[in-house]
Amino acid sequence: MIRSAIFPGRYIQGKDALDVLGNEIGRFGKKALILCTPYAYENLIFRVKSGIGESIEAFYEKFGGECSDEEIEKVTSSGKSKDVDVIVGIGGGKTLDTAKVAAYNLKLPVVIVPTIASTDAPCSANSVIYYPDGRFKRYFMLPRNPDTVLVDTSVIATAPVRFLVSGMGDALSTKFEAESCREKYADNLSGYKGSITAYELANLCYNILIEYGRIAKASCEADSVTPALEYVVEANTLLSGLGFESGGLAAAHAIHNGLTVLPQTHKFYHGEKVAFGTLVSLFLTDRDEDTIESVYHFCMDVGLPITLEDIGLRNVSDDDLIKVAEASCREDETIHNEPIPVTPGDVLDAIKTADMYGRDHKAGYY
């Protein structure tokens, strides 16, 4: 049996890490296309330019809002016309995913600079492609991970708290999906079986969230960098990225993808929907009550969704929920990495049970 684990070329994290951005870009070239989310373009550009210095010729492009084939083509064409030798993505997960695919198209190195810790996208050799209207389209598997990931925790600390919490929701799934893949002997995202390193990193990711999640949220609410915030940012960004990619995906992310078929969910973040998908997976896979209680308690404590209403689906019909369940169970979906056979009917029942259990929690029954 062949096992594998895949990693970014270099991971840098810390307060004021943007100060060394120019050094990191300079390892790959002197001419960079820098794709910025609108927030970064408008609010961080002075810090970015200061960190880059005068040794790098930089061209700045504002991200269009969706990691779609159309946006990727626009960025690819811009990089080609400017004859750059490195792509830099600065922003949230969709901005970073777009930068990664554009760099692949141009056969260039890519430097990833997340401004929020809302997903595990930054470190991965995987981009999630959407239609321009926000519906999930497909995964794009890249041949290698980003060359550098640079995380400035002073930027993360001043971003809206909801982003950090969403990242915890994305990271929360890592342990459970990796465990399912391990039990099923399912392939990870490199096409091989996961390594013991990947599974242990997935467990470490979960343990950090449970121990430090609430403190990290308080730090972010205070616009402050503390050790707890550093730990959770690393869990959200590095450990979750390594865990999902080298451990594997299963039900939680498939249910997230299914939820995107309902437009009411589009205003909610990836990690928020993944968190609810994780809750659904606990019932789908017959997890013990202590585990279910721990996960619900954590979600309530940090403010992650625990009911359908929390992701915009108040009074949703069974007809709509079965659409979610059917999309979650598409032939190519990762839900089939669960160690049990899964049908749309099973998913529908688990969704409704997870929602009821969450409503009971809010009512104080548990």
User: What's residue 356's pLDDT?
Assistant: 97
Our measurement of the distance from residue 205's CA atom to the centroid of its chain's CA atoms, rounded to an integer in Å, reads 13
Tell me the average pLDDT across 195-210. Answer: 97
Check whether 365 has a pLDDT greater than 80: no
Contact 15, 153 (CB under 8 A): yes
Q: Is 297 known to be catalytic? A: no
| DSSP state letters, 287-318 | --HHHHHHHHHHHHHHT---SSGGGT-TT--H
Check whether 37 has a pLDDT greater than 90: yes
Among 348, 359, 286, smallest CA distance to 321 is for 348
User: What's residue 30's pLDDT?
Assistant: 95
- CATH 3.40.50.1100 is right for the domain spanning 160-362: no
User: What's residue 290's pLDDT?
Assistant: 96
The structure tokens listed for 25 are 């870009």
The structure tokens listed for 168 are 């915890």
Tell me the average pLDDT across 73-95. Answer: 96
* pTM: predicted TM-score of the whole model, two decimal places: 0.92
The total of other beta-carbon atoms located within 10 Å of residue 356's CB is 13
Half-sphere exposure of 237 toward its Cβ, with a 13 Å CA cutoff?
Answer: 32
Check whether 294 has a pLDDT greater than 90: yes
The more confidently predicted of residues 297 and 93 is: 297
Check whether 279 has a pLDDT greater than 90: yes
Check whether 185 has a pLDDT greater than 90: yes
Residue 88: strand pairing partners: 34, 111
The structure tokens listed for 334 are 């990762």
Number of H helices, E strands in the chain: 15, 10
User: What's residue 77's pLDDT?
Assistant: 97
For the segment 149-181, what is each residue's pLDDT rounded down to a tens digit? 999 999 999 999 999 999 999 999 999 999 999
Give the Cα separation of 293 and 366 in Å (integer): 8
pLDDT > 90: percent of the chain: 90
Q: Which residue in the list 170, 310, 346, 355 is annotated as catalytic?
A: 170
Check whether 366 has a pLDDT greater than 80: no
Q: Which residue in the list 147, 253, 310, 355 is annotated as catalytic?
A: 253
Contact 160, 96 (CB under 8 A): no
Q: Which residue has the tokens 């369940």?
A: 325
Give the Cα separation of 23 and 18 in Å (integer): 10
Contact 2, 193 (CB under 8 A): yes
- Give alpha helix (H) positions in 6-133: 21-26, 38-43, 45-52, 69-82, 93-106
Q: Which residue in the list 256, 310, 346, 355 is annotated as catalytic?
A: 256
Q: What is the mean pLDDT of the chain?
A: 95
Q: Which residue in the list 152, 270, 310, 355 is annotated as catalytic?
A: 270
pLDDT interval class at 333 (50, 70, 90) = very high
Q: Is 170 known to be catalytic? A: yes
Q: Is 256 known to be catalytic? A: yes
pLDDT interval class at 226 (50, 70, 90) = very high
DSSP 8-state class, residue 187: B
Q: Where are the domains of the chain?
A: 3-157, 160-362
Q: State which fold the 3-157 domain adopts.
A: Rossmann fold (3.40.50)
Residue 33: strand pairing partners: 59, 87
Tell me the average pLDDT across 246-259. Answer: 96
Sign of the torsion formed by the C-alpha atoms of 225, 228, 233 and 238: positive
User: What's residue 261's pLDDT?
Assistant: 94
Q: Is 361 known to be catalytic? A: no
